[in-house]
Amino acid sequence: MKGDDPDAVEAMLRHLYSLRFTPPTLSLKTDDKVRYYCNVVSVADKYDLPTLAAEAHQGLMTFVTSLEEATSLLEALIILTDEYSEHDSLEQCATMLAAPHMEELASLPAFPLWLTKRRLIVQELIDDAAKFRSNFKTMKSTSVWWCAFCKNLLVVKVQPKCWRNSCGSMGTAYVHDFVPDC
């Protein structure tokens, strides 16, 4: 236990004695909370406590997802990937956290530099782009219609009738063929 973060060791001991995992207090700064969760994951991995690691991962995901500013999110991602690079699970966590926020993150000047060092995240982006490109090939041109009476948008191939009146057209859209999961 020498060299381990004292707060993470306390979380581990609480876990071993079946006490509830408690996240850091609200008074900690954002980067300190991220480090706390990362330290708990590190200690849990070191002492083979997968349940504690899962709880810390979930707490980390919940906390970082709650961050509203893109700069705070990028700071958290940098901590996850640069300070805890020896933990593959935290790199995967960073990938899952970054993916839904690419548009906001892309507006930050420091993001491209950070991204160039992240092989896993770049591969995920390439996979998503390839999947989108292959799906786009199967899309068909159709029309989007707007009903002036019921205010509904209708995506159909021919101009629909709504309560004995024709809907007004809004233009062309592309819609992927729907194939229900069985």
Tell me the three-class secondary structure of the chain, residue by residue.
Answer: CCCCCHHHHHHHHHHHCCCCCCCCCCCCCHHHHHHHHHHHHHHHHHCCCHHHHHHHHHHHHHHHHCCCCHHHHHHHHHHHHHHCCCCHHHHHHHHHHHHHHHHHHHCCCCHHHHHHCCHHHHHHHHHHHHHHHHHHHCCEEEEEEECCCCCCEEEECCCCEECCEECEEEEEEEECCCCCCC
> What is d(CA 29, CA 17) in angstroms, rounded to the nearest whole number?
28
Query: What pLDDT is recorded for position 72?
Result: 92
pLDDT on residue 39:
92
Q: What is the pTM of this model?
A: 0.66
* Spatial separation of the C-alpha atoms in residues 13 and 144, rounded to whole Å: 59
pLDDT in tens, the chain (182 residues): 677 888 888 889 888 888 877 776 657 788 889 999 999 999 999 999 999 999 999 999 999 988 889 999 999 999 998 898 888 888 888 888 888 888 889 899 999 888 888 877 788 778 877 887 776 666 555 666 666 666 666 666 666 655 445 555 444 443 334 334 43
So what's the pLDDT on residue 181? 43
Q: What integer pLDDT is reported at residue 174 of this predicted model?
A: 38
